Homo-oligomer: A and B are copies of this chain.
Amino acid sequence: LLTSSMEDYLEMIYRIQKEKGLVRVKTLAEMLNVRDSSVTKMVQKLAAINLINYEKYGIIRLTGEGEEIGEYLLNRHMIVEKFLKIITNDEIKLMDVEMIEHNLDPKLLAHLHQLVLFFENNLDVMEKFCQFKGQNK
């Protein structure tokens, strides 16, 4: 089982690898706002369970399994973020996503995704919901 911290690292590694191709310890430390030494420690843990390979010159690469998990985690993050945007209509805070995502089981996430898609595909319902919330304040 992965800890919340491991999940955050994997999600970010996947995000960087997708956007920039190459993931460096330095970049990861900057993006996660932690020290290089913390990244190095975590990278060793993730390499030990075969989710990443730690290559020369501080370059990190996801394994096949690591990439699969990273994709799931980034997707999960985006679904929770969209869900929160729909129900709060505020700019939602990263912390709110963080509080929820790590405790969400995959089946429930799939249901949440359906709910998000339902609102996205039925903008009249979205509008009706906004009006409803306005009245109930």
Task: Scan A115-137; emit 1 where CB is below 8 A from any B CB, else 0.
Answer: 10110011001001100110010
Interface residues on A, range: 20 to 34
A99 (CB) vs chain B CBs: closest residue: B103
Q: Is A100 an interface residue (CB 8 A)?
A: yes
Q: Which residues of B contact A121 (CB under 8 A)?
A: 132
Contact of A99 among B84, B105, B118, B136 (CB under 8 A): B105
Q: Is A96 an interface residue (CB 8 A)?
A: yes
A115 to B118, CA, bound (A): 13
Q: Is the interface of A mostly helix, strand, loop or mixed?
A: helix
Cβ–Cβ contact B111 & A88, under 8 A: yes
A102 (CB) vs chain B CBs: closest residue: B103
Cβ–Cβ contact A128 & B132, under 8 A: no
Cβ–Cβ contact A87 & B111, under 8 A: yes
A49 to B136, CA, bound (A): 35
Q: Is A12 an interface residue (CB 8 A)?
A: no
The interface of chain A, by Cβ under 8 A from chain B, is 84, 87-88, 96, 99-100, 103-105, 108, 111-112, 114-115, 117-118, 121-122, 125, 128-129, 132-133, 136
